Amino acid sequence: MTIAFLDTDTMGNVPNLHIIDSLGKVVYYPVTQPHQTIERLQGVDIAITCKVVIDRQVIDHAPDLKLICAAATGINHIDADYAEQKGILVKNVAGYSTYSVAQHTFALILALYHQIPYYDQFVKDGRYSQHHIFSGMDRDITEIRGKIFGIIGLGTIGKKVAEIATVFGAEVWYYSTSGKNDNPLYRRVSLEELLSHADIVSIHAPLNDLTRNLITYDQLRLMKPSAIIINTGRGGIINEADLAKAIDNDLIAGAGLDVFTREPILPDNPLLHVQKSAKLVLSPHNAWTSLEARKILIEGIAKNIREFLNR
């Protein structure tokens, strides 16, 4: 079998990447531009893609393709229905980043609650050396204990975040974006009730017709001025212009985001131009990228290929 991994740069420097070599003749491409996809799939039996789009047109021009492996959980970039019609199997890898994303969620929360960016600079720029007492307390730090922790989307990652929040001593409430999730361990409420009462709002939902632009200025106005909102789910769930406005208008205490509507983030994104930037902590969609998670992902891809070959 000939295998093409179309965008290995999305995996970073993961040490077990080449376990796939034992499964066939593998060609690794760091990046594949849209105009290169069809050419690179000529004579290829198995395609591996994290973000490279494999749509109807690509499938029609890849006559040897038998298996498409998503190097991800989501398969939005693959026309899976058309692939099935053409007899091409599509496989993803689920659950590989649960711990990584949950941990990153709390990294964002704690960065805001403990004012880590501010106090890091406070020490490094010499202000602490000149301070009149042994502790810096210019800005209050806050405990998660005793807070209402609101989760939007109680799937696999949302449940892990809920479990950790409970260990911190928070009371977990949740809103089911699909309306189908009912978990007796936590309090299920409407979106309006969650936003109105939660001290921390953490988003762990997929982007779809139910969640696109779910959080706008009107929803942010429902939140407490002391509350923070975290998004490690998908960009597009929060209206970024409205969030920037809400931060500068002091509607909320802060926000931590790992995902954006366009990625990489565009230079004119309103979040990069907020006046009160200390209330905002941003990371470049890397919540999922712990070394452990990426190794599990590669193992999952290899498993999917192996199962296909052993059918």
Catalytic: 263? Answer: yes
- Which residue in the list 197, 234, 240, 294 is annotated as catalytic? 234
Amino acid at 277: S
Contacts for 12-20: CB closer than 8 Å, 24+ residues apart: 12/289, 12/294, 14/291, 14/294, 14/295, 14/297, 14/298, 15/295, 16/295, 16/298, 16/299, 17/298, 19/298, 19/299, 19/302, 20/48, 20/298, 20/301, 20/302, 20/305
Strand order in the sheet with 2-5: 25-28, 2-5, 46-49, 67-70, 89-91
- Which residue in the list 84, 263, 292, 307 is annotated as catalytic? 263
Tally the residues of the chain: 311
Catalytic: 292? Answer: no
The residues annotated as belonging to the active site are 234, 263, 285
